[in-house]
Structure 1
Amino acid sequence: MNNKLFGTTFVALLGSTVLFFGVTQAGTYVIDEVVFPSKGFGEQTYIGPYDVSNLPENEAAVTVQTGVKGWYGEASVQIKLQDAVVSFPVEVVQFNTDSTLTNAQDGAKNELQFDVTKESVGTFLNQQFAPMVFNDEEIAIVTETIREQLAAGRKDQIIDITSALLANSTVETAVTNVTFNNIESSVGIRNLMTALNGYVINPKSTFSMLEFIESTDLGNLTEQDLTTVASILYASVLQTNFGVDERSIGPVVPTTVPLGFEASINRELGVDFVFTNPNATGFTINLNGVGTGLNANLTGFPFIYQYETTINDKQEFLPKTIKQYSSFVEPNTVRVKTQGENGIQVAVFKNIRSDSAIIETKEVSKDFYPPVHKVEIHPLTVTIPAAGSGDGTGTTNGSESTKGGSNGQPSTGAGTGTTGDETSIGGSTDSGSTNDTGSNANDENDSEPQYDKGGNLIPPSK
């Protein structure tokens, strides 16, 4: 009886325990999954750059928050508007953990949710990009652009807000203005002006002078025509933030374009002028004749900075004189074959200004034109040595010259003599009498010493 009662009691208690445990687990399941469901993430789930695959929501939140905290310490965010790039303070950006986890989709790449106020963005824009003025609509557009770009969680990024601001903008102005004076307007230059006037340099595009003329029928063009127009375009490009990819100068100092701004073109040698527009907006080329000069300007969305070019460190190099000789040039005459010209070197600098302050100065180029040496052609002459030089040639102003004889006058040479009347070799010409006495003895005494084949002196005969 006791055993039966014990068994019945044990079974009752066991059943109650199982029932209580089941109810407890069921309640927990209902609370966790029905009343307060807990979210977890499956395979291949990312929030920003952070992998939260197979993590419950609370662990995923810790993972993401830890990653974003590190992002704040290392992030470098810059805002680009046209030609200006300015650092953006990430401390005004607030990470929204709840919104990030709530909007995250399982098995997908999800974005981080950041909060940025329009007030902080408006203050930033007006301080960093003055003198531009931004209205409320433009500030709201920039704020949303910043939010969208930060959502990927990249540590280093440049956010270009130019396209967002200019999507509906019609603002255009002349951003450059260059005039070359005393330009002879040839047919080729006029054809180039007509073809280039109104040409649009698209965003992020490159312009090549040689490619342009090859794609356009412009008739006969000289290298000088191409160089003149390319040079005024080059001078215009220097007043922007455009990049110059290829530019050359000629061998001599230019006479039709200002020093420092020549962009030589040579089709035969493939010498080109190439530049790139790095901006998110396009610019239009405008070319016009101004009196006897040529004017060029680029129109488009205005730049934040101002660009100016200066010519410094001009140096001149004197030419040398090269002498050449020719038998076709008359005596005492010098013919100039090439007139010399000074060589010149100039350095071109670009100043980048923000309002009136120079924020950067950089050297653009250093152009060197070597001097053209002067070439003179002189007459070809034979030099006759002076008297007594002993080389067998002499000149006198007397009546005669002798060799090996006596004429009552001193001899001026040892061999061949030239006088105003005659030349005498190996003879004697007298006018009648002589003042010499004992000339035979003197001749013998003055005769040159004689040597045998062994080099021994032969005594004079008695």
Structure 2
Amino acid sequence: MAKREFNPKSFLMIFVSISLASLFLFFSSVFVTDVYSNIFEEERFGKGVRVGSILVEDATKQEAESIVKEEISEWQNQYPVYLSYNEQKVQLSPDTWLFQVEESVQKISGNSNKLLVELDKESVKSSVFKLNVTGLEELLDEEMLYAHLKQVGAKLPTSNLEININEFLTTFGQAEEVVSQSTVKLPGEHVLLADWIKGLHGYEIKPGSSFSLIHAIEEVSLTAQDSIDLNVLASGIYTAVQKTNFTIVERHTSRELPEYAELGFEAFVKPADMDFSFQNPNAAPYKLEFLIDKDHLVVSIVGVPLPFTYKVKVDKQVFKPKTIIRFNEQLASFLSSVVVDGGSEGYLAAVYRESFGSGGEVVESIKLSEDFYPPKHRIEERGYPVEDKEVPDTTNPENGIPVMPYPYPVYPYPANPFDPNAPVIPGIPGIPGADAQPPTENVKDNKVEEKKKTPSDDEKESGGEAK
């Protein structure tokens, strides 16, 4: 067999052909892969791409939606959001936020993108209502609150999740005014009252807090003494509070309506066990201001306008006093009378607070109290009653000669002092027969008994035996 010789030229051609074929296959596979990826595979997001606060880098749209939904679910379960007002707070339902995940992912452009979200406004209103604050809905800037809640949902924060409603009320920044005022006439001197109103002037009642008259006086380093001045001050404040939406916590009345108070507007305070207190349910603070104008105490409540206009209505029922008769032996007869106490009428007052809207319509009417002052009965004294008796005849029935009038109105003077039926009458000097006394035994009965006696009876009485 002939031996073949090595041909470098042929080897080089074969080597170059194989190399070119390999390169062609390699670059073809890369090119085809890129073409396939561009045509058949979904696009993935680049580095640092976020939807809201959620990182979705190197993820397809479908994967990004899953990531966003998972993060939202975790946030809703682990980080509840609260609405707070003073010391009260209510958790917002997770369904309050309506997340638009698909639309948010579709609109990704660049690294920073918004998580689109809407609100269930009825759910928000329901949560605000649960705070149980009178007039809060009227003072709340709802659109401002909705905008803030949307930002919370868009960012999914993990801190500062307690939202203070005070920041969204229209009252902030408004000018203060006198929202209610009362006037009470001062009875006589008022030394203690002057010191108390000086210390309490400008006293602030914070949102949601309670006011106690006794504690407030003690807070300003004074002492609440049991006096008319304390009751006048309490009545003045109570009358002003009635024309607001403040809630009465504790209030008492006396047994009799005092002269300085009108029916339905009295507040009685006894430092030991009876206080006057109320609560400010509003989202804004209010102040108490006092002024003594001649012989009147003027109490004003100053603050931002209240949600409604308030008026007080009193339904009065009158009870007439009865007459109580007492017998007095010093008075001559029942017809003689002396009035000891003229008495006074009693009252039952039903006190209502009516709320009026801006158009003058009645929004609400609630009963604040029922004040009862019992009537003070009329008392008079009379003599003891005496039965009517016939007027005795002063003529002697035997000879028709007038005789001396009987010294006693009840029994006639006896014609026969020995009449056993005649009463015993003390002797009267100068009157014939007046000194005579009737026998102590019944004379007629004795005579009858003597007629019935027999000799045997006499013997029995003398101790003899009957024969």
The verdict on a shared fold, with TM-score over 0.5 as the criterion, is yes
Partner amino acid for 2:304?
F
Q: Does 1:415 align with 2:419?
A: no
> Is this contact kept in 2: 1:142–1:164, CA < 8 A?
yes
What is the Cα deviation at residue 374 of structure 1? Answer: 2.8
Structure-1 separation of matches of 2:70 and 2:281: 38
Deviation string 1:388-423 (CA, Å, 9 cap, x unpaired) is 9xxxxx8457554656x35xxxx9x54334797547
- State whether structure 2 residue 374 is matched by structure 1 residue 370: yes
- How far apart in 1 are the matches of 2:258 and 2:200? 23
Aligned length: 343
1:218 maps to what in 2? Answer: 222
1:311 corresponds to 2:314 = yes
Q: How does 1:122-201 map to 2 (within 5 A)?
A: 141-145=144-148, 147=150, 163-165=167-169, 169-181=173-185, 183-201=187-205
User: Where do 1:342-357 residues align within 5 Å?
Assistant: 342-355=345-358, 356-357=360-361
2:261 maps to which of 253, 257, 277:
257
Offset of 1:162 from its aligned partner? 5.1
TM-score (structure 2 length as normaliser): 0.58
Residues 98 and 289 of structure 1: is their aligned pair in 2 closer, same or farther, counting only changes over 3 Å?
farther
Contact 2:217/2:224 (8 A) holds in 1: no
Deviations 1:415-447 (A, max 9, x none): 33479754754159xxxxxxxxxxxxxx96x99
| Contact preservation (8 Å) 1:163, 1:281 | no
Aligned counterparts of 1:205 and 1:224: Cα–Cα separation in 2: 27
Determine the C-alpha separation between the residues in 1 that align with 2:223 and 2:175.
Answer: 36
1-structure distance, mates of 2:321, 2:118: 69
CA-CA distance at 1:227 after TM superposition: 1.1
Alignment of 1:415-454 (within 5 A): 415-417=423-425, 422=434, 425-426=437-438
Aligned residue number for residue 322 of structure 2: 320
The yes-or-no answer on 1:301 pairing with 2:304 is yes
- Residue 367 of structure 1 aligns to which amino acid in structure 2? D
Distance 1:50 1:101 in 2: 20
Q: What do residues 314-372 of structure 1 show as CA deviations (whole Å, max 9, x unaligned)?
A: 12212233333456x45456554444111111111111100211122222211110111
- Quote the Cα distance in structure 2 between the aligned partners of 1:364 and 1:251: 19
Deviation per residue, 1:50-81 (Å, 9 max, x gap): 569xxxxxxxxxxxxxxxxxxxxxxxxx9x9x
- Give 1:426's aligned amino acid: P
Identity %, equivalent residues: 21
* Bigger Rg over Cα: 2
Q: Offset at 1:45?
A: 4.5
Task: Give the aligned partner of residue 240 of structure 1.
Answer: 244
Distance 2:411 2:422 in 1: 16
Opposite residue 351 of structure 1, the aligned amino acid is E
Question: Partner letter of residue 60 of structure 2?
Answer: F
In structure 2, what is the equivalent of residue 291 of structure 1? 294
Rounded Cα–Cα distance in structure 2 between residues aligned with 1:31 and 1:150 = 27
Q: Which structure 1 residue ranges, 5 or more long, are not aligned?
A: 1-18, 53-77, 81-89, 104-110, 118-128, 153-158, 389-393, 429-442, 451-457
User: Cα gap change, 1:304/1:168 in structure 2, threshold over 3 Å: closer, same or farther?
Assistant: closer
SS of the residue 2:230 aligns to: helix
What is the alpha-carbon distance in structure 2 between the residues aligned to residue 363 and residue 168 of structure 1?
Answer: 31
> C-alpha displacement at 1:224, in angstroms?
1.4
Q: 1:48 to 1:218 in 2, by over 3 A?
A: same
Distance 1:261 1:324, change over 3 A: same
CA RMSD of the aligned region, Å?
Answer: 5.1
Q: Tell whether 2:60 aligns with 1:36.
A: yes
In structure 2, which of residues 331, 340, 344 is the aligned counterpart of residue 341 of structure 1? 344
Structure 2 unpaired stretches of 5+: 1-28, 46-57, 86-94, 108-114, 122-134, 157-162, 392-407, 455-467
* Distance of aligned partners of 1:284 and 1:252 in 2 relative to their CA distance in 1, 3 Å threshold: same
In the TM superposition, residue 305 of structure 1 has moved relative to its aligned partner by 0.9
* Greater displacement, 237-246 / 42-51: 42-51
